[in-house]
Amino acid sequence: MTANSPTGPQNAVTHDVKESAFLKACRREPVPHTPVWFMRQAGRSLPEYRKVREGTAMLESCMRPELVTEITLQPVRRHKVDAAIYFSDIVVPLKAIGIDLDIKPGVGPVVANPIRSRADLAQLRDLTPDDVSYVTEAIGMLTGELGSTPLIGFAGAPFTLASYLVEGGPSRNHEHTKALMYGDPQLWADLLDRLAEITAAFLKVQIEAGASAVQLFDSWVGALAPADYRRSVMPASAKVFDAVAGYGVPRIHFGVGTGELLGLMGEAGADVVGVDWRVPMDEAARRVGPGKALQGNLDPAVLFSTPGAVEEKAQEVLDAAAGLEGHVFNLGHGVLPTTDPDALTRLVEYVHTRTAR
């Protein structure tokens, strides 16, 4: 069955999972409490994560199903969050199709042969399920362990993947990326279209294995003006969301520094728009418009303050989100590595208690 068939493809999401607070909020249905999960909850700040990953490189750890399963489950056990997010990295599908890259500690993904010309596009072949069989295996293990807790699959959005590929690694100014986007718009469009196909294939593998929602991370897209986003990026993101629409799982779209892009990111096809900490949730709702749930948006740095201050700032988020059609509580970006795990556990409990219906 394909995504274009009248009844749509099926995945392994059970009735209990579909009735979870997280998926209900994504569908803008009444919830027993505001659901909570955290970006980058699966690792970095957890001592048990550091212990289990000791001596294993990041990309290798993403390809070992038993390790992926354990790391994904750790924050669910510890924090009692309402959803798990699959432990991986946005460059995994690029590595899987043979791109020569590595994740260097303290730096991030580094690409050996950056894409700067049409000939370089040949590096980007199609992704097949066999390329990432470890993902299918890990998600099968996870859905068995998680029970009624939903699993979120994810991928990097075409723009952010393109930025890594063109720059050769993380970039502050994205000068090579923007030079290509403005200077050779046809090559840029072809690059993003190819990445959209790879990204869609990667998300389909996760959904068909049992992921009950997916999030598209566009970490660097806040570097763009709205007109550039609409013209040069939105078509590729929309292609990804369209490709998985038939599965009926919620699609979340998140970027950093995207206050000026929130409406457009919703237009691209997301069911849930992620909001960073720079825009209050009620203002974000105004920018996005009706018909979408929102996710966010406590500043991750707040967690370094006193418990009372964390509660106060969390309540500000809840108050601003009180009138939303659907709200998933999250941070406005990922958990910072030196965050006290107990602060996250207390935050989950606070949100659950304060919003119990």
Low-confidence ranges of the chain (pLDDT < 70): 1-13
Catalytic residue among 27, 64, 89, 242: 89
CA–CA separation, 103 vs 99, rounded Å? Answer: 12
Q: Which of 180, 302, 269 is nearest to 232 (CA)?
A: 180
Catalytic residue among 49, 86, 134, 164: 164
pLDDT reported for residue 1:
33
Q: Which residue is associated with the tokens 């964390």?
A: 310
Q: Is 231 a catalytic residue?
A: no
Please say whether the beta carbons of 161 and 111 come within 8 A: no
Q: Is 182 a catalytic residue?
A: no
Beta strand residue intervals within 29-182, DSSP E: 84-85, 101-104, 108-111, 151-156
Q: Is 164 a catalytic residue?
A: yes
CA–CA separation, 297 vs 294, rounded Å? Answer: 9
Distances (CA, A) of 200 to 44, 61, 106, 242: 27, 23, 29, 9
CA–CA separation, 74 vs 67, rounded Å? Answer: 11
Beta strand residue intervals within the chain, DSSP E: 84-85, 101-104, 108-111, 151-156, 213-218, 251-255, 272-274, 293-295, 327-328
Structure token digits, residue 162:
């393109």
pLDDT reported for residue 106:
87
Q: Going by DSSP bridges, is the β-strand pair 151-156/272-274 parallel, antiparallel, or unpaired?
A: unpaired
CA–CA separation, 4 vs 7, rounded Å? Answer: 8
